[in-house]
Structure 1
Amino acid sequence: MTIDERLKEKGIELVDPPVPTASYVPCVTVGNLVYVSGQGPVRDGKNVYEGTVGKDITPEEAQKAARLCGCNILAQMKKHLGSLERIKRIVNLKGYVACTDDFKGQAVVVNGASDLMKEVLGDNGAHTRCALGTNSLPTGIPVEVEAVFEIYEQR
């Protein structure tokens, strides 16, 4: 089953990826690795989720925000590569969670993106990971996720 078929089967729609809001590019390829800049829970140029986890937003909402970040990562990859079928595997995922000082569920929040990668990429969705808490993120988003993928050589 192709990645696009798996997305369709699971009812996951990738929309146009967000445009950078600062001085960076969405993706950079180095050899057979693609580094994807941090993606927020954004759709159609607007934040879908905002706030601080543990104060303004629940961990469950933040997990959904992380899943949307993962969808935006895949949308960036599709735009960058032309096809998700060039993805060999995800190597690393880093998630940042804007949260209160006493919040300890960063790993559970970032599972929203990690679980998506496993759903979409199957066995190739297993990856190394880091989940960090911070006091704030750009534009008031509660979660930002970045990733590194290994790709097949272009034929």
Structure 2
Amino acid sequence: MPGADEKLAALGIVLPPPLKLPPGMVLPFPWVNVRGERAYISGHGPQEPDGSLAGPFGVVGESVSLEEARVSARKVGLSMLGSLKRELGSLDRITGWCRVHGMINAAPGFTQTPAVMNGFSDLILEVFGPEVGRHARTAIGVASLPFNLAVEIEAEVMIGLA
């Protein structure tokens, strides 16, 4: 059974580079915080292949469609996998996805947040398989997100020692 790194290559998926921050912006936290056999992944947004933030920007259920938001959630997954690979050296060190917390910039009354998050979950299951990729999940609607992102996701994974 191929590992996650091999699976990404087989799927032709290239992970984005580190996020290009606006000039003068400094983040006082790491994208991935490793503590023993756990890696806590800070909230990520979707990225373009060049490392810039990816749109569409705005509110899901108003200016952003459900399908556009689902694609954004998948891009968030790619961004997160890029950060994990840089921190861990190999995605094959991930032994289990514990929990995923998705925040969707949602219009009042928008209730399809789980459908948006399926873009992320489907990617993780595709790359890691049903055993390692299985995760608990929350998908909530929020009033706004940084940079007017449509989707932001944070997670926690179990890792094997290097």
Aligning the two structures, in what range does the TM-score lie when normalised by the shorter sequence? Answer: over 0.9
State the TM-score, normalized to the length of structure 2: 0.90
Which residue does the alignment assign to 1:148? 156
Which residue does the alignment assign to 2:117? 110
Runs (5+) with no aligned partner, structure 2:
none
| Partner AA of 2:18 in structure 1 | P
Taking only aligned residues, the RMSD between alpha carbons, in angstroms, comes to 1.3
The percent identity for this pair of structures is 35
How many angstroms apart in 2 are the aligned matches of 1:152 and 1:27?
15
Choose which of 31, 56, 59 in structure 1 pairs with 2:36. 31
What are the within-5 Å matches in structure 2 for residues 2-151 of structure 1? 2-18=3-19, 22-43=27-48, 44-123=51-130, 124-151=132-159
| Partner AA of 1:29 in structure 2 | V
**1:41, 1:49 within 8 Å by CA — same for their partners in 2?**
no
State the TM-score, normalized to the length of structure 1: 0.94
How many angstroms apart in 2 are the aligned matches of 1:149 and 1:126?
11
With over 3 angstroms needed to count, the CA separation of the structure-2 counterparts of 1:19 and 1:147, relative to structure 1, is farther
Q: How many residues align?
A: 154
Residue 19 of structure 1: how far off its partner (Å)? 5.2
**1:53, 1:98 within 8 Å by CA — same for their partners in 2?**
yes
